[in-house]
Structure 1
Amino acid sequence: MKRYIRFSVLLYCTLLLNTVLWWFRTQEENTSQTLTLDINKLKNPASTLRVTVANSRTDTKSLGHKPFRGIQWHWKNSLKDTYMLKLNNSEEICGKTFIGYNKDFAKLENVVIDPSKGKGRRGGENISEVLNQKERDEYFVLEPGYFQVVQCKKHVNFNFTSRSHLNSWHDAVGTGAMPRYGEVIPGWTIAVMRYEYVNLYHTMTDFYNTFLVAKVFNITQGHMTILWIDGHPWGGLDTTWETLFGKVLRVGDIKKPCLFEHMIWGIMGYHSPLTRHAAYSAPYLEEFRKYFLISHGITKTRSLNCRRLKITVIWRRDYLAHPRKPSGLVTRKIKNEDEFLEKIKSTFVGHDVRGVQIDLYNMTEQLEMIVDTDILVGMHGAGLTHVLFLPKHAGVVELCPSYWSSANKHFVTFARWRKIPHLLWNNKDRKREIMRHSTIVDVDAVTNLIVKMNATICSESLKQTHKRHNIA
């Protein structure tokens, strides 16, 4: 009997020991995950790569992701477009693991970001917390191995456009041994480094670039992650990224190595097609306009009523936008706002005339005002970026102070691309300039330009009406 009891105790202890050893082995496997790749699918960049991770978590909530609630977008067929044809100028490295396109952007398959090899601020702070912060503190310094391309064993060698930050990203690519990682970001990720992140014009180039690369790879809204590789504090345009594309992740939130299934290095903002003012056109500009408006729930189209025009004047006023200008002081303001607005109203009796500081409104409210505008008036500045969203029948009157060169073609180019009439008033009287901050506008001269614009858009509308009747 005693021998039987001793045997039973020994058997129990053996089973208990095996259970403990099995538990420790399981935990070790959880921290050193294994990656299984279907190599055949690597040969087809359009296919979805199946990634099997043993005991890994693919839940991205811990990285700040939010569910996308926007309107699903369906891309138009664009196979014959010249912009898409330019993408044939690509270079494949490591069996399409790294593909560089036209020196402007790149696609990487199964890349691990190792945060220990990058230094920078998380970002997202309130501006008041980082006043006078140096701009260089808002950008990450990346060391080799920050981007680890899992399936590539040789050196990645590709040259991007001169002065693009993508060259420094390229220098931070590591190959060879696969690092351990925790989180997995499935699907598509578009990596962006923002520069003038609170300026509507410059941020619009980032929006547009992201739209372009999403279109290139046929990525629909809600099926991509935007990765900000910068450490900027919070800005008023941050939420627009989520509205347009879906999930947004700050690279500063990545605390442990993280694997991204399909990563795109987006086009640098300063190298956007929107900045090529000499170009005949910008690809898919009207589709981008529609995409932008629909993403904000705006689908109505205003019809021109020349008996009751809607004239919107944009005011430039001081406001705190980023840490390096704590005074909030802006230039190119209109000194005699009240006089100017009253002159327009007295000239256009019975019409709707309004003056707005448009940056005080959220993006949806801004767009609602713009799509309901027939003539847009304003000093040269980021607010005139809204020329992109005006109705097709609309016109724009742009004002420039004497110290600002009319050679800045940002908004006259947007108008030309959209076939919207544009008129310019350039102050020639330096006595009208107040300490280079405000301009006393010649209300008679500018109002005459608005009257001329009225005649232009209404006569064009009349021509189009007659043309339709003749065709009918």
Structure 2
Amino acid sequence: MSVYAVTTARPNVWTWSSLNADQIRAVIGEVEDMCTGNFIGYNRSFALLKEVSVDPKFGHGRKGGEHLSDVINQTEDLEYHTLERGYFKLRCRESNPYHFKQTSHLNDWFNALEFYNQSTKMISTQQRFDKTAITIKRFEYANLYHTMTDFYNAFRRIHQVPFLEEFKSFFLSRHSVHFNDALDCDNLTVILLLRKDYLAHPRNPSGSVSRKIANDKQLIQKLKELLPRHNVLSSQIDLLSMKDQLSLISRTDILIGMHGAGLTHTLFLPKHAGLVELYPNYWPTANEHFQAMARWRNLKYFQWQNADPSNERANNFTVINTTDVVEMVKNIHALMCN
């Protein structure tokens, strides 16, 4: 992902400010600057701009938020913002061409850069801010996992705090979700996340998804037998609003689900929580996205993969070995409460 540092100055005018260039240079490698240091390119991969304004009227693209039925089969190219010359305005005495890596969209962004000299009058309403912000070109916006990595990367770079607990608190508070990390071993909540066919992406008009659980009702029953006095339920979480999703997950002690974007909610589980991640026979366990999230947060983690191909059924359903999964939940319960 290519990144610029930027901050909002007004709702429709942005100004850019500096990060610590020496720190970035130490890990990036090749560094080139021009415009007396107002443009610094790093390894042809991203750039830092200072003394620059952003004029959104030179940017064009879809607003977003359309009803899904209005964008079915829409190509991804239509979802990107197109920038014209003048979108970025940079104070510069001398300017030279700068080329990012061949496939980088930042080459188009550079072409949207307009240089001005010291005597040129800037936007009259412009205000200067010495804070840091970021612009990125986002891909796979409809996928919760990729969206959350965008949010976390922005949070980490802006606040210079690479800690997930602070991100969790920040994200939940911005959605007005109040949470309590206290553990009540007499009243645990266990959630089985269900993956169902549903329409959520313009380039998947059938709404078909893989990695679905064939015997979810049986699994829930076995879990209720293990934890009879506790809250054990299943949820197709994509049917809920984001606030309701976060509210549910922030009160969940043990989360169980097939490998998939919904497990990104591991970021918002209580500090003491546990995760059981399920894999069908055909899906590689080398995809360790959510195991890593659990490890970074010191959560309890167990993994199950179907070893019997006969348990794979039509339409991407997998029969889960309930004995194995119940044993994993039992182990998490013991680690959590004993």
Q: TM-score, length-normalised on structure 1?
A: 0.59
Q: Write the distance in 2 (CA, Å) between the matches of 1:192 and 1:297.
A: 26
Cross-structure match for 2:90: 150
Cross-structure match for 2:169: 290
Alignment partner of 1:139 is 2:18? no
Q: Between Structure 1 and Structure 2, whose CA radius of gyration is higher?
A: 1
Q: Which amino acid aligns with 2:39?
A: F
Alignment partner of 1:420 is 2:299? yes
How far apart are residue 93 of structure 1 and its match? 3.3
How far apart are residue 364 of structure 1 and its match? 1.9
In the TM superposition, what whole-angstrom CA distance separates every residue of 1:25-80 from its partner, at most 9, and x where no partner exists? xxxxxxxxxxxxxxxxxxxx99999xxxxxxxx775xx9xxxxxxxxxxxxxxx9x
Stretches of structure 2 that go unaligned for 5 or more consecutive residues are 14-18
After superposition, the Cα gap between the structure-2 partners of 1:367 and 1:114, relative to the gap in structure 1 and judged at 3 Å, is closer
Cross-structure match for 1:360: 239
After superposition, the Cα gap between the structure-2 partners of 1:441 and 1:95, relative to the gap in structure 1 and judged at 3 Å, is same
After superposition, the Cα gap between the structure-2 partners of 1:120 and 1:309, relative to the gap in structure 1 and judged at 3 Å, is closer
Q: Which amino acid aligns with 1:318?
A: D
Q: Which of 307, 311, 331 is equivalent to 1:432?
A: 311
Q: Write the distance in 2 (CA, Å) between the matches of 1:195 and 1:430.
A: 34
SS at match of 1:419: coil
How far apart are residue 408 of structure 1 and its match? 0.3
In the TM superposition, what whole-angstrom CA distance separates every residue of 1:343-377 from its partner, at most 9, and x where no partner exists? 11112111111111112112221122112111111
Q: TM-score, length-normalised on structure 2?
A: 0.80
Q: Which amino acid aligns with 2:135?
A: A
Is the CA contact (8 Å cut-off) linking 1:100 and 1:158 kept in structure 2? no
How far apart are residue 302 of structure 1 and its match? 3.0
Q: Write the distance in 1 (CA, Å) between the matches of 2:128 and 2:244.
A: 33
Cross-structure match for 1:166: 106
The share of aligned pairs that are identical, in percent, is: 41
Is the CA contact (8 Å cut-off) linking 1:131 and 1:326 kept in structure 2? yes
Is the CA contact (8 Å cut-off) linking 2:179 and 2:251 kept in structure 1? no
Q: Write the distance in 1 (CA, Å) between the matches of 2:259 and 2:7.
A: 46
SS at match of 2:282: coil
Is the CA contact (8 Å cut-off) linking 2:275 and 2:300 kept in structure 1? yes
Is the CA contact (8 Å cut-off) linking 2:34 and 2:96 kept in structure 1? no
How far apart are residue 146 of structure 1 and its match? 5.2
Q: Which of 44, 48, 51 is equivalent to 1:109?
A: 51
Alignment partner of 1:97 is 2:38? yes
Q: Which of 75, 79, 87 is equivalent to 2:24?
A: 87
Cross-structure match for 2:227: 348
Q: Write the distance in 2 (CA, Å) between the matches of 1:408 and 1:48.
A: 36
Q: State the superposition RMSD in angstroms.
A: 3.6
Cross-structure match for 2:180: 301
Q: Write the distance in 2 (CA, Å) between the matches of 1:387 and 1:85.
A: 35
Q: Write the distance in 1 (CA, Å) between the matches of 2:34 and 2:273.
A: 48
Cross-structure match for 1:207: 151
Alignment partner of 1:337 is 2:279? no
SS at match of 2:150: helix
Counterparts in 2 of 1:306-321, with a 5 A limit? 306-321=185-200
After superposition, the Cα gap between the structure-2 partners of 1:440 and 1:183, relative to the gap in structure 1 and judged at 3 Å, is farther
Q: Write the distance in 1 (CA, Å) between the matches of 2:11 and 2:292.
A: 44
Alignment partner of 1:197 is 2:141? yes
Q: Write the distance in 1 (CA, Å) between the matches of 2:88 and 2:291.
A: 43
Q: Write the distance in 2 (CA, Å) between the matches of 1:48 and 1:127.
A: 30
Q: Which amino acid aligns with 1:336?
A: N
